[in-house]
Amino acid sequence: LDNIEAYASIPNPVIIAGEQGTGKDTMANMIYMNGPDSENPLVIIDAEYMNKTKWMKLLEDDDSFFTMDNITIYIKNLHAINLECQMLLENYFTNTYVHKRNKFIFSYLSDYGDFLEDSTILPFLQNKLVSFHIVLPNLSERSEDISSLSSLFIGESITKHGKQILGLNPKALELLEEFNWTYNIDQLKRVIAECIVLTDNYSISDETVKTVLETEKTKSKQLFGT
């Protein structure tokens, strides 16, 4: 967060990497909001919903936003782009210099092994387009942030649920800090919301947190068999 203004102010593309739920979209939006083109459109392309036909249409149409100037284009889930479409994008960037006219932000799942091993577009973006790389840590690696994040999520949720909750008791916070967060910030936000629903006091108890986290562990076992 301290470096967002620096990354936003430069014309170079920015690549954001992180596990699921680490806040890549939030980071991209903050770079856009702090950039010189924040009053111009932000265009978001989710590569998971793209195929060759869609990419070709986007790159070849005369009225495509790729022909515009001074906008921010955020291409998320780079890991979902197959090698053929990666080459299409690389050729387009090379031949049009679209990245010189607009601010580009990219993101991908950092634990997507095949993409990291086989990708051609990632080294292209880093070396040819001189993109700056931001790696977001997972929540379990920054447990010291859980207290402030929890306070933020409690503040967001209490109005929605009509509760008067001031925070977590110390043991409840300790349980959150020791938990292995598979889905990172997104998961923490959901856990806090569920704890608020189950709480009728002024603070969230460790018993409530323990109950909700046990459910999270059960769901994780069902999904991953661990």
Q: Which pLDDT value is given to residue 142?
A: 87
- The predicted-structure confidence for 174-211, as pLDDT tens digits, reads as follows 999 999 998 899 899 999 999 999 998 899 999 999 99
Report the C-alpha gap between 153 and 125 in whole angstroms: 35
Report the C-alpha gap between 151 and 141 in whole angstroms: 19
Q: Which pLDDT value is given to residue 84?
A: 95
Res. 226: pLDDT tops 90: no
- The predicted-structure confidence for 66-125, as pLDDT tens digits, reads as follows 999 999 999 999 999 999 999 999 999 999 999 999 999 999 998 877 777 888 999 999
Lowest average pLDDT, out of 54-58, 155-159, 169-173, goes to: 155-159
Which has the higher per-residue pLDDT, 212 or 3?
Answer: 212
Q: CA separation (Å) from 78 to 47, 106, 169?
A: 6, 7, 41
Q: CA separation (Å) from 59 to 42, 53, 64, 73, 102?
A: 17, 10, 7, 13, 15
Q: Which pLDDT value is given to residue 162?
A: 78
Q: Which pLDDT value is given to residue 220?
A: 64
Report the C-alpha gap between 50 and 47 in whole angstroms: 5
Percent of the chain whose predicted confidence (pLDDT) is above 90: 72
Burial of residue 60 (number of CB atoms within 10 Å: 0-12, 13-18, 19+): exposed
Res. 147: pLDDT tops 70: yes
Instruction: Name, in order, each residue with C-beta under 8 angstroms of 68's C-beta and a sequence gap of 6 or more.
Output: 41, 101, 102
Q: Which helix (H) or strand (E) holds 82?
A: none
Calculate mean pLDDT across residues 7-27.
93
pTM: 0.82
Of the pLDDT bands very low, low, confident and very high (cuts 50, 70, 90), residue 58 is: very high
Res. 224: pLDDT tops 80: no
Q: Which two tokens stand for residue 146?
A: 């859980």
Q: Which pLDDT value is given to residue 117?
A: 82
Average pLDDT, the chain: 91
